[in-house]
Amino acid sequence: MANIYDVVIIGSGPAGLAAGLYAARANMKTLILEKEKAGGQIVTTEEVANYPGSIEDATGPSLVARMVEQAEGFGAEKVLDEVKEINLQDKIKVIKGEKAEYQAKAVIIATGAKPRLLGAPGEKKLTGKGVSYCATCDGAFFEDLEVYVIGGGDSAVEEAMFLTKFARKVTIVHRRDTLRAAKSIQEKAFKNDKIDFIWNSEIKELRGDGILESMTLKNRETGEETEIVADEEDGTFGVFVFVGYLPQTSLFEEMVDMERGYIKTDDNMKTNIDGVFAAGDCRVKSLRQVVTATADGAIAAVQAEKYIENNFEE
């Protein structure tokens, strides 16, 4: 079994890197597989102000770089390879990548989730520069500014209410003429004096030279276009997009139990398959933040160690 890893972790966002750190520190032979680059969603964040201990002007990339250094410092191996096929049912799990095949006693799935994009011109260029997908992460950066929330579901309306703690005005832009959020949530929003609404509209374009400065909205019924320009004194405004997330779990469909594409686990990150764990944004959970992802990863690694101790003889 010399060529078999104790743990293979698929994904190197905060959940995967925390799992790698804890697994390697427990002297398990640990491999972290990543198809692109380490960090997940956090690498698009300019400032990480709500992660405990990140008080030295930490950015998403700098925080991830520290995590990578820690995990590798304890002996975790990190390989860039895209997983194409996987067998989780046997005692020894087989992961087939584009470059090689890997075997493991336990697998931790930490493939994350991505926010659903609007697809509007300028959106990607201005992400982190006025365009955000996380009110908890970035709301405080828009103190006393105007903010637009795109979406009409529970998350969009709840996040709009959260943003009223910082922004002087929050406008919900929805592509329909009624919200999809639960009635109880809608009622709170309608009663909030800081929240306005723009109906039957969607963003056609976002513009700005290094920072969001204007956007064009198109009315879906009349076709009329309206340009919204940042207040001259403010210089910018915020656009928070909440039109859903896309869990990166298609590879595991019909293998592990899921709910709306998210992997179901218990409190110990165990899936319905022995020796298979899930951590971070790819699993069913109430809060998707770096701090909860790293906690998931730590728990998954400790539980993987216990699983191996109980199921594999030395």
In angstroms, rounded to a whole number, what is the distance separating the alpha carbons of residues 76 and 19?
10
Q: Which residues contact 134 (CB under 8 A, 6 or more apart)?
A: 45, 240
Mapped onto helix, strand or coil, the DSSP state of residue 275 is coil
Q: What share of the chain is helix, strand, coil (3-state, %, to 5)?
A: 25, 30, 45
In angstroms, rounded to a whole number, what is the distance separating the alpha carbons of residues 23 and 74?
9
In angstroms, rounded to a whole number, what is the distance separating the alpha carbons of residues 166 and 180?
24
Residue-wise burial string across 33-69, b where 16 or more C-beta atoms lie within 10 A, e elsewhere = bbbeebbbbbbbbeebeebeebeeebbbbebbeebbe
Under 8 Å between Cβ of 304 and 23: yes
Tell me whether residue 282 is one of the annotated catalytic residues: no
Tell me whether residue 138 is one of the annotated catalytic residues: yes
List 6, 81, 138, 281, catalytic entry: 138
- Would you tell me how many other CB atoms lie within 10 Å of the CB of residue 193? 7
List 134, 281, 282, 296, catalytic entry: 134
In angstroms, rounded to a whole number, what is the distance separating the alpha carbons of residues 167 and 139?
8
List 57, 81, 90, 137, catalytic entry: 137
Distances (CA, A) of 39 to 17, 23, 59, 110, 134: 8, 18, 11, 11, 16
Tell me whether residue 134 is one of the annotated catalytic residues: yes
Q: Which residues contact 224 (CB under 8 A, 6 or more apart)?
A: 218
In angstroms, rounded to a whole number, what is the distance separating the alpha carbons of residues 178 and 48?
35
Q: Which residues are catalytic?
A: 134, 137-138
